Amino acid sequence: MHASRPLNIAMLSIHSSPLGELGTIHTGGMSIYIRELAFELASLGHTIDIFTCAVTNGHEPVVQLAQNVRLIHFPIPEADLSSHRNLLPLLPHIFRILEEYTAKEKLRYDIAHSHYWLSGCLGSLIQEKWHIPHVIMFHTLGLMKNPTDPGEREARQRVSQEKKLVMQSQKIIAPTHQEKKNLIDLYNTSPDKIDIIPGGVNLDIFQINRQKDARKAIHIDFDEPLLLFVGRFAVEKGITLLFEAIQLLHKKMSVQLIIIGGDGNHDPRKRDLVDRAVQLHIEKQVHFAGRVDHQQLPLYYNAADLVVMPSLYESFGLVCLEALACGTPVVSTNVGIMPSILDGETNGATISDASPCSLATAIENFFSNKRSPAFDSQQIRQTVVKFSWQHVATETLLAYDELLSDDISIS
């Protein structure tokens, strides 16, 4: 079996649906990654079934996302999806449902591709029982997230399972050289198992638009410089770090900040952020836009003067690619793909340490240079044109092909 022939691919996203609401605590860049990768693989002639246990927001159990791409939802009534740990003991039950479904529908798959450690555990069962190759992409690592939130340490269970998975999996996809290094240093992963395949950006959706037109479309009328944050309200996203930087900036300049993401007004994480803004006396500068449809995000990127990514940990950082594709500069902490994209001159900059002072200085420096010819929107976009989803799909197929070729030689 080679990837040169059409493949049937089982893609696993057990805890998070690609149709989930972006910006909520369990739905972020991974959902975009899965959806876009599946679409590109399908355009190359392959068939992809994405399996999830997450709520599909009123959709039917089987949703045709595109030609040759289906989302298949297995409802687990007894599962409490508020914590990933609650799903782990149910994985054997989920596998039985999967087996019954595939037998009934007469489905066979050439390869399993799991996303996140929970899906990886199911992928290992598939690998063992169905005797097909298994590829895993962790998206985040428990041992990397631990230092970002001492109060809510990732469960030992997760780290234990991740260590098993790096031993059992035949191929691991890491989005950056740093994440490959994390896998080797923290999990003792064999370097030969790891392929580095960066994430991508949909260059058809994320395009340059006039700032004036974008602001009019989303009813924004600020005289002050406008910052934008896009992401989940998780501790590792560093929103409070950004708040503290804005407070420091206030002595020198006034900025406005729009925050996209979150689980709505009932979300305790949002209430904590609102309280923190009040404590820092920046509540009049911070505006919560809530969740924004992925197709509408380019309006916000184009409306902003600067996108800020204050993350304490990112395995990649799709938001950076999206912003740059819209011609908007990015200031970021030194995480994920950002150090290798942001050049400090034409498209933004990274800061050496994740401190409010460093972040405030970087933002201030950007606006002091804002009128410089260096910040040209077309030039900024050019820095990410190589990160197409077609490239991601092509590289992923090469990883599949290597495993499938090995499978033949073994048998």
Tokens of 367: 């606006």
In 30-177, beta strands by DSSP E: 47-52, 62-66, 69-73, 111-115, 134-137, 171-174
pLDDT digits (tens, 9 = 90+) for 150-199: 555 557 888 999 999 999 989 999 999 999 999 999 999 999 999 999 99
Distances from the Cα of 7 to the Cα of 52, 108, 133, angstroms: 20, 10, 12
Residue listed under structure tokens 């002639």 = 45
CB proximity list for 257: less than 8 A, separation 6 or greater: 226, 227, 228, 229, 242, 246, 285, 286, 287, 308
Residue 89 token pair: 């003991």
| Residue 188, helix vs strand vs coil | coil
- At residue 222, the pLDDT reads 87
In the 8-state DSSP scheme, what is residue 151? G
pLDDT digits (tens, 9 = 90+) for 255-298: 999 999 988 788 899 999 999 999 999 999 999 999 898 899 99
Dig out the tokens for 148 from the structure: 């970002």
The DSSP symbol for 177 reads H
- How many residues in the chain? 411
3-state secondary structure of 163: helix
Give 291-311 as a 3 state SS string.
Answer: CCCHHHHHHHHHHCCEEEECC
Q: CB-based contacts of 278: which residues, under 8 Å, 6+ apart?
A: none
Is 192:380 a contact under the CB 8 Å cutoff? no
Sign of the alpha-carbon torsion through 46, 115, 17, 102? positive
97-130 in b/e form (b: 16+ CB < 10 A) is ebeebbeeeeeebbbbbbbbbbbbbbbbbbbeeb
Q: Which structural domains are found in the chain, ordered by start?
A: 8-200+388-410 (3.40.50.2000), 211-382 (3.40.50.2000)
Burial call 217-253: b when 16+ CB within 10 Å, e when fewer: eeebeeeebbbbbbbbbbbbbbbbbbbbbbbbbeeee
d(CA 235, CA 324): 24
pTM: 0.90
Task: Name residue, tokens 């990514």.
Answer: 309
Question: What are the structure tokens assigned to 197, written together?
Answer: 């395949």
pLDDT tens sequence across 62-83: 999 999 999 999 877 655 555 5
* Each residue's pLDDT expressed in tens, for the chain with a length of 411 residues: 445 689 999 999 998 888 866 544 555 689 899 999 999 999 999 999 999 988 766 678 899 999 999 999 987 765 555 556 678 888 999 999 999 999 999 999 999 999 999 999 999 999 999 999 999 999 999 999 766 565 555 578 889 999 999 999 899 999 999 999 999 999 999 999 999 999 999 999 999 999 999 999 999 988 899 999 999 898 999 999 999 999 999 888 999 999 999 887 888 999 999 999 999 999 999 999 998 988 999 999 999 999 999 999 999 999 999 999 999 999 999 999 999 999 988 899 999 999 999 999 999 999 887 555 557 999 999 999 999 999 999 999 999 999 998 764 444
